[in-house]
Amino acid sequence: MKKEPLKTASLVAATGSLALLLAAIVIFATATGAVKVPLGETARIIVSRLPFVPKAKLMEGVPKAHETIIWKIRLPRVLLSGLVGAGLAAAGVVLQALFRNPLSDPQVLGISSGAAFGASIAIAFGISFTVAGISSIWMFAFVGAILTMLLVFRVARIATSHSVTSILLAGIACSSMLTAGITIIMMWNREKLEQVYLWMLGSFSAASWVKVGFMGIVLLFSVISFLLLGRELDLITFGDQEAQSMGVSVKRTRVIAVVATSLLVAASVSVSGIIGFVSLIIPHIMRILSGPKNRRLIPLALLGGAIFMIACDTLSRSLVPPAEIAVGAITQVTGAPYFLYLLWRERRKEERE
């Protein structure tokens, strides 16, 4: 029996519950680490940084070392992981609507491979510098992702037009080409092979407030674009001709949505490496609550993606201390079984039809 989406009142309650859960997990994850900081103390440190809050009174009795650990090390990492999780989940929602395929993922655009290729060049050839808190690896990864996005659009335009099929095929072709390039670079610089591989698995160990600000700005721009295009994306899921008959400029909508998604994925991959399955499983879970309408689904996906990623990152640094497990490995372990379930469900659906 198919589950019905929640009504408006229930959806508001679910959104509020997820927001409270997100706030709780932010405090818990920030308090978790090699140096134990009480939850109440962690909350006081975070709240004391809010505007119009009496910091001196809140911080009475809080060790300076704890304030430094929470504010400069742990909180940027927790917030960055949440922003990346939210961004990847929102990107998954939009791509599944654009491609009319529940198994669509940002990696089909080749953006992740472009970021990995850029980072591989910086790592393998020892290009190391920092400008205003921006490292060379981060910069090369972001530029590589953006150039790949432009290449995918160029190839798709030469092939036919900005259609679903041409963009999808161009993304797959560019991704395969860049993956081959990464392999060649790694073989030429075998001593850097492990470093490149670990970057590609994903990590938030190099989080900083600069990255949090950068990711926040890109996420805000992309989400506003997605919400403004919510109705158009809903109609496109029924097909291009049906959407055009309802007054939707399909080509314009698709270009804006893909550009915004590509920028979001490029930013996410550049600050964290390649992290899979978030953009696949979170939209499906949240769609059960909200239904297919994108303006209802996207906010829930943002909250769900942030919660999921913060939880995975907390596990990655807590399971085998003081070492860390790549967060991409954690998401794959949790996401792969759900992906298999989706494939099985699609197969059953096709058999019934």
Digit-by-digit pLDDT tens for the chain (353 residues) are: 455 566 677 788 888 999 999 999 999 999 998 888 899 999 999 998 888 888 878 888 888 899 999 999 999 999 999 999 999 999 999 988 888 877 777 777 788 889 889 989 988 888 888 777 778 888 898 898 889 888 887 887 765 555 667 777 888 888 889 989 988 888 888 888 888 888 888 889 889 999 999 999 999 999 999 999 988 988 888 877 888 888 888 888 888 888 898 889 888 988 888 898 898 889 988 988 888 888 899 999 999 999 999 999 999 999 888 888 889 889 988 877 877 877 787 677 767 76
Q: What is the pLDDT of residues 79-123, one digit of tens each?
A: 999 999 999 999 999 988 888 877 777 777 788 889 889 989 988
Range list of H helices, 125-277: 136-159, 164-188, 193-201, 209-228, 230-236, 240-245, 250-272
CATH hierarchy code of domain 76-319+327-352: 1.10.3470.10
CA geometry: angle 243, 248, 254, nearest 5 deg = 90
Residue for token pair 């791509």: 95
Give CA–CA dist 85/92, Å, rounded: 11
- Chain centroid to Cα 330, Å, comes to 14
Give CA–CA dist 353/344, Å, rounded: 14
Q: Measuring CA to CA, which residue among 128, 275, 97 is closest to residue 199?
A: 275
Size (the chain), residues: 353
Q: What are phi and psi of 37, to 5 degrees?
A: -120, 125
Q: Which residues of 263-286 are buried (b: 16+ CB within 10 A; e: fewer)?
A: bbbbbbbbbbbbbbbbbbbbbbeb
Residue for token pair 């818990």: 28
Q: What is the pLDDT of residues 219-237, one digit of tens each?
A: 999 999 999 998 898 888 8
Residue for token pair 């790694």: 186
Give CA–CA dist 76/129, Å, rounded: 21
Q: Measuring CA to CA, which residue among 119, 108, 109 is closest to residue 144?
A: 119
